[in-house]
Amino acid sequence: MFLLLLLLVASVGFAQVGDPPSRIEVTASYWPVHTNGTVQARGTAIDLRSDLGVNQNEATFAGKLDLRLGGRNWIRIEGVPFRLNGRSDLSRSITYQGRSYPITDRVTSTASLDYFYGGYQFDVVSQPRGRVGLEAGAAYLGTTGSISSQSTGLTASKSQTIGIPLAGLSFRAFPVRGALDVEINGEIKGMAFGKYGSFCQTGISAGIGRGHFFLEGGYRFIKADIHDAPNVNMVAPTFRGPVVSLYFRL
């Protein structure tokens, strides 16, 4: 992504022509999420796919608002409500929240992860044909998960709220103007927390449109690895997949 960014800056040149910088940018996305990873709560490290059979390509909707405060200063707000469901015949015994589920037991699982981010962005490059910005902010992760046995009726649940700082880089460019305009954007942000894990989010999209509206297609990736202590509680999902978005600027 960084190589692509450098190529865009070099090729577009951010010429001093075109529309004035937008004040508000809204992106609404449809994201069929492919999920894998592990969770752990007072027991076994449980694989979301092989142990719980979490559904893939789950329909997910995401939203993002960029508000220019003036000059090169922006406020960014974005959120994604992830919803996961699974059903599986266990091929091994697992333990979740201190409760054990034996081999060959059939289990169902549900999980939610609400991701919300708010941050500040400063454009180190800001021209009518594009911008490159550095951003810093904080993310909120609210997670809830439960596993139920179909043979015994036993259910165990766990909820956790996490706040994490994030920093990164984003860009948006309009390299082609004509009957239809071409727009390209991307971002990467994250943070490492030492023994408590890490978080990374990245994505890239390209769109065509005219005036205020653009239709975009791209790819998005989020990987979390958050734990409070080794072998105690852990949330480590990976969400990835193609994304289709409607981008509006004013």
pLDDT tens digits for the chain (250 residues)?
544 444 444 444 444 444 556 789 999 999 999 999 999 998 999 999 999 999 999 999 999 999 999 889 999 999 999 999 999 999 999 999 999 999 999 999 999 999 999 999 999 999 888 999 999 999 999 999 999 999 889 999 999 999 999 999 999 999 998 889 999 999 999 999 988 899 999 999 999 999 899 999 999 999 999 988 666 788 999 999 999 999 999 9
The pair of three-digit structure tokens given for residue 87, joined into one six-digit string: 């059903």
Q: State in Å, rounded, how far the first CA of the chain is from the last one.
A: 26
Residue 172, burial from CB neighbour count under 10 angstroms (0-12, 13-18, 19+): buried
Residue 138: count other Cβ atoms within 10 Å of its Cβ: 13
Residue 163 near residue 123 (C-beta atoms within 8 A) = no
Residue 99 near residue 148 (C-beta atoms within 8 A) = no
pLDDT number for residue 21: 65
Instruction: Collect all residues with Cβ–Cβ distance below 8 Å to 150 and sequence separation of at least 6.
Output: 105, 106, 107, 108
The pair of three-digit structure tokens given for residue 230, joined into one six-digit string: 């080794």
Residue 235 near residue 226 (C-beta atoms within 8 A) = yes
Nearest partner of 223 among 179, 194, 192, 246, judged by Cα: 192
**Helix runs in 106-187, H state only:** none
Nearest partner of 162 among 89, 98, 236, 94, judged by Cα: 236
**In whole angstroms, what is the distance from residue 170 CA to residue 187 CA?**
4
pLDDT number for residue 3: 46
- Bridge partners of 248, per DSSP, are 26, 213
**In whole angstroms, what is the distance from residue 239 CA to residue 195 CA?**
22
| Structural domains of the chain, ranges and CATH numbers in brackets | 2-249 (2.40.128.90)
